[in-house]
Every structure is written in C-alpha cells, then in structure tokens.
Chains A and B, each alone.
Chain A
Amino acid sequence: MPGIHTMFEASTLSDAVTKLLNTFGAVAGFLAILLIVFYAAGRATGKISRPLTILVFLGPAVLLILIGLIIPAARTIWLSTKSDDSTRFLGAKNYTWAFTSDSIHQVLLNTLLWIIVAPIVTTALGLCIALLVDRLKNEAVYKSLIFMPMAISFVGASIIWRFIYETRDSSQPQIGLLSQTVMALGWKHPPNWILSHPLNNFLLMVIMIWVQTGFAMVVLSAAIKAIPAEIIEAAKVDGARGGNLFFRVTVPMIRNTLIVVLTTVMITTLKVFDIVRTMTGGNFGTQILANEMYSQSFVQFNIGRGSALAVILFVAVLPLVGYNIVQLRKERGNR
C-alpha cells in the first residue's frame, strides 16, 4: 500500500505544479498583451492618438462591466417575469409566490430577524469596545485580536462555530464548548443547539456578529477620536458627565458614522449565504433569502423564482447602499 500511496501523491503534486504554471502563464500572457498594446498604441500619433488612448485605457473595463453586470442585471429582471424554464411569461407571479407561499414565509421572517438583530448587536458591541479599548495598555493587541475574524472566510468561521455548537448526549463527555459551559453552569441536559428552533437562528447570527464587530470597532474608534476636544470640554463645563456626556455629546457627534456602520453590516447580512449554507443548509427553520436564492437558482434550477428572489434582494439593499453612497459623497464634498 505505501507504494501506491506515494505514487498517488506524486501525481497529485505534478497536477498541482501544472495548474500553478498554467496560472502564472495566464497572468504573464495577460501582462504581456497589455505591454504590447501599450507599446503599439503609444506610437500612434495625430488625430487617432487621443481616442485610441481612451479606448485602450477604458475599453476593457467598460466592456467587462457591461457584459458582467449591466446586461446580466437587466436580464435577471426579465427572467424573473418568466417561468422556471424561461419559456412562458408569468408577469408578477414569481413575486406573488415569493411573498405569499408558506415555505417562503419563514425565510422572509428569518431574514428580517437577521437584518435587525445582527447589525444592531454588532454596532452596539463595536461602539462599547471602541469607547473602552483605547484606555487599556495594550490597545493594539486587543484591537488586532477582535479584528482578526474579519480575515477569516464565512465558511471557515462557520466551521469554527459548528464545532463550538457540537452537542453530545448529556451522559457522554462534551466536545463542544457551548454545551460544556452551560453544563458546568448547572444546565444538566442542554438541547442539540443547531436543531433547536428558533434559538438556532440566533446562534447563526453570533457568527456574523463575531466576524463583523471588529469592523464596527475600528470605524467607530476612528470617529470618536476625531471629535474635537473643545466640544467635549464645553459639554463638561456645562456639567455633562459619564453616560450623559456619552448619549448627549459623543453619540450625536458620531451619528453619521454609526448609521453607516449599521447599514454596511445590514448589507453584508442580507447578501451573505455562506453561514446558513455551511451550518444548516437552510434546514431546521434557519433559511434566509440569500441562501434560498442560491438553492432556487442553482440547486433546483428554478430560474424564474431564483431571479425574482435576486431582484427582491437587490431592492432590499438598494436604500441601504443608496444611503451610504450619498453619505460618502457628502463627506467628500466637505473636504
């Protein structure tokens, strides 16, 4: 057997080398084409020189955006009005299905719960940490450790937390940290966490909160540090202290940043399907819109319904992203 084993590894390794060489070849080829085009187009003179420059610089990007985003988005809207095999025109029937069928009710309810609970908890926690962290001695270490989950994929984070939620029969030693902890605290027969509806929804949200809190902390910490000292001084002269100072002065001063953080986490929450897919596959009453859109489109191949769900997702994030963009432009205008 060891002989076969090593042979197997050798072929795997040569596969790996081939793949990587091909990839570097593709990158090198891409850069070489760019250089050649640059060289050739750079030699052009006279009238065509300017339009050619614009075409070379802007053409690829515009073409990619057109083929990859604009046309597909328009087509998704069109597909959402057709049947699941795209042969019959149904009008708004897919949307009626999305808002009235019993199976989707739970999905919409869960999604609503997610976009309310996860962003609010994330922002509140991020704000608390931002306020408290900068007076500790090793501020940078704390910040790094809390920010670290941002680097981890949602799939990786889900596996980390699945292991924490792992449940054994209460007669056996537990290997999941959550069961072990609550049993140590005196809860003799904890449930199987992932199967317990509606608790499991909140347990999945914990993963989103774990990942996103570092982001909220860093952004809010910067906003708090940017409040001019005179304003705090003036408030103190007027007698503001502690909680009063916090709610009457600090929070209003960073109000815009707070809303931007809140909406940004909401957008992420609406779009992310990785957590639910990895943790439960949408079973046990945990399905959300983004994962339902994926399964309708790419598991059950219900193109019409999947497209309708994509459009609903788009309409749901539209006001949030719109707000962020307006806010961003305002900030730039002030500078």
Chain B
Amino acid sequence: MTTVEEPTAAPDPAQPATSSGKVRKAFSSPLASIFMIVVTVLWTIPTIGLLVTSVRPAGDVALTGWWTVFTHPSFTLENYHKVLFESSFGSSGGMLPYLVNSLAIAIPATIFPLALASMAAYALAWVRFKGSDTIFFAIFALQIVPLQMALIPLLQLFNGGAHIGSVTIIPAPNLGGTYVPVWLAHTMFAMPLAIFLLHNFIAQLPRDVMEAAQVDGASHFKIFRTIVLPLAAPALASFAIFQFLWTWNDLLVALTFVGGTADVAPLTVRLSQMAGSFGRSWEVVTAGAFISIVVPLIVFFSLQRYFVRGLLAGSVKG
C-alpha cells in the first residue's frame, strides 16, 4: 500500500522545520488515539460489511446479520456468478454487459478530453496570440457552470439536431443505442477543468527547452509530441486517473444520455435500478455493488499518489 501524500508540491528541504511536531505535542493524549481508531473502524466497517455479505450464501444473508460470519463462517462465490451471468431481475445476461459498458464509456471518455485538452493547453501556454489570455480566462471561468445547466439542451441536440425556426442547422445525428452521446458529453464537460489543470503544468515547462527546439526548426506539432507530452506525463496521469474515476462513478450523465438498457448503460445505472426494485436480495445487490467499486479501489490502492493529487487538483488546488 502506498501512502496518502501531501497534495502540494514536494516539501522544500531548505524551508525551516514545520509546526506539525509542535502541534502534535500540544494535542497529545491517549484519548486522541482512541478517537482516531474509532473513526477509522467506523469508516471501514461499511465497506467490509458489503464485501462479507457478497460472499455469503443467499439463505444466510436473508436470515442473519453479516457479523455472524465471525462465529459461523460460511462462504460462497455463487452470488458473483449469479449477478454477472444470470438473467434475473428484469435484465437478460446479468451484469456483465453493464461492466463492459462501464469500460467502454470510461476509457474513451478519459482519452478524448485528455488529448484535446492537452493540445488546447499547449496552444494557450506556448503559441501565444492576441486574445489567448482572454480565451484561457473564459475557459477557466466556465468551471462555474454546473453540468445540470447543459443537460436538457444537449440531450435535445443529440436526439433531434439543432434548428433555428424551421431552418435545420445540424440534422438529427441518430446516435441512439451507441456510446457516442455519453463520450461526447463527458468530453465536453471535462474540458474547462482539464484545460485549466494541464495549462498550469504545461505553462511551467522550462522555456529554454522549448526555445531550443524552435531554433532547431521543429514545428509546434513536433514540439508537442516529442517534448511537451513526455514532460507533462505526471500531470496527464493525475488528470487521467481523476477523469477515469469520475466517468466510471458517474450516474447523472450516463442516465441522461444513454438511458437504462443493457446495450449502453454502465454499472452505476444498473446498480441504482437494482437498489430501487430488488433491494431485498442483498446477496446479489452487494455482489453487484462490489463489482462496481472494485475497479476504483484497485486504482486507489495502486496509484494512490496520483489519485490524491488528481482528486485534489480537481477540487481546490491547481
């Protein structure tokens, strides 16, 4: 397990010692340790309960609490087979298609905005032109628009095209039953934050490296591919992880743009359906929920450093 790292830049060794040691002493008491242990246990138990329930036989789950496994252990993987492959609960083919949909939505919805936003960020930082600052500020300011503001018109556009009066500007794109609307929506909604974050990083790349490449006659396209992308890899990784988890965990965009069918709907949509109508078959619902959270948990525990950095960048820090 890696550790949760400082969200800010690496600590400067030249700086004087910080206060944590002093604060530490000032608040030191055994009560504090007990408080921390209680909080940590409270924070962990809910997920453990879910995991334990998902591997208990259906009969046990319905009759006794999951904590009784510690006195009467009895385990099975039947629930996972059932929820993944068996056509139950008003859906044919179990949860496997939804798992595939989640991957098929989240991977392109990460790569598309990553590529387009890093290009835009490079242009705004290094191909400076009249108005580039204004454009950057406008994009930066657009972060204030909640995506709820765009849902209805965007759905109307994807379903029926765009018209002014009776003049058709964009014909109905006929994208029903494909991933395209949800890819596009995620890409569009990711743009302001992605450009802002990547711009902050790319703008700080060493000026002399860029200028040397230009003197050698490299085009902006070559500089972008051979210098900027490799150097910006840490920022790209942080944003990629943030965006992947965001799209993987998203319910609102998926529900709005792809609906609830097994053709295109992701795990989150299926889970919310299951919780609504079949909340009583807990062994199946918990197995399904665990399948949906295991991917983020793997990402979290294996790439924790980037994960924390990406998440914090996504919410407060630049």
- Chain A interface (Cβ within 8 Å of chain B)? 8-9, 11-13, 15-16, 19-20, 22-23, 26-27, 30-31, 34, 38-39, 41-42, 49-50, 53-54, 56-58, 60-62, 64-65, 67-73, 75-76, 79, 125, 128-129, 131-136, 140-156, 158-164, 166, 173-177, 180, 210, 213-215, 218-219, 222, 224-233, 236, 241-242, 245-246, 250, 260-261, 264, 270-271, 273-274, 277-279, 281, 290, 293-294, 297-298, 303, 306-307, 310-311, 313-314, 317-318, 321-322, 324-325, 328, 331-332
Contact = CB atoms under 8 A, between A and B. Distances in A.
Contacts of B36: 129, 132-133, 136, 142
B227 interface: no
14 contacts: A12-B97, A56-B221, A58-B120, A61-B195, A64-B184, A76-B150, A151-B297, A155-B251, A162-B275, A176-B65, A215-B312, A246-B27, A317-B146, A332-B318
Interface stretch (B18-26, B71-79, B206-214): B18-26
Contacts of A132: 27, 32-33, 35-36
B55 to A, nearest CB: 14
A54 B129 contact: yes
Contacts of B282: 163, 166, 175
Contact of B312 (A49, A219, A324): A219
Given A53-B220, A65-B191, A325-B141, A160 B272 contact: no
Contact of A229 (B16, B50, B293): B16
Nearest to B51: A160
* Most chain B beta-carbon neighbours within 10 Å: one of A38, A53, A58: A58
A175 to B, nearest CB: 5
B147 to A, nearest CB: 8
Interface of B is mostly: helix
A179 to B, nearest CB: 9
Nearest to A58: B123
Interface string B129-168: 1000001000111111110111111110100000000000
A131 B20 CA distance: 9
Nearest to A78: B153
Interface string B235-250: 0000000000100111
Nearest to A245: B26
Contacts of B115: 30-31, 34
A53 B123 contact: yes
B16 A228 contact: yes
B136 to A, nearest CB: 10
Given A16-B100, A20-B103, A160-B50, A26 B108 contact: yes
A142 B316 contact: no
B8 A226 contact: yes
B49 interface: yes
* Most chain B beta-carbon neighbours within 10 Å: one of A26, A54, A61, A144: A61
A142 B33 CA distance: 11
Given A134-B24, A141-B1, A218-B308, A277 B251 contact: yes
A177 B67 contact: yes
A127 B130 CA distance: 45
B69 interface: no
Interface residues of B, number: 132
B13 interface: no
B184 A68 contact: yes
B65 A173 contact: yes
Given A72-B157, A152-B297, 10 more contacts: A26-B108, A42-B220, A61-B120, A152-B296, A218-B312, A228-B16, A232-B23, A261-B316, A298-B155, A328-B317
B300 to A, nearest CB: 4
B65 A180 contact: yes
B6 interface: yes
B33 A136 contact: yes
B3 A140 contact: yes
Contacts of A261: 316
Contact of B271 (A34, A64, A159): A159
Nearest to A73: B149
* Most chain A beta-carbon neighbours within 10 Å: one of B40, B92, B250: B40
Contacts of B146: 270-271, 310, 313-314, 317
A34 B271 CA distance: 36
Given A15-B97, A58-B123, A164 B268 contact: no
A26 B282 CA distance: 37
B299 interface: yes
A174 B120 contact: no
B129 A177 contact: no
A245 B26 CA distance: 8
A273 B252 contact: yes
Contact of B187 (A64, A281, A307, A324): A64
A124 B120 CA distance: 39
B272 A155 contact: yes
A129 B35 CA distance: 9
B43 interface: yes
Interface string B96-120: 1100110110011001100111011
B153 A72 contact: yes
Contacts of B85: 8-9, 12
A300 to B, nearest CB: 13
Contact of A151 (B49, B64, B142, B307): B307
Contacts of A306: 152
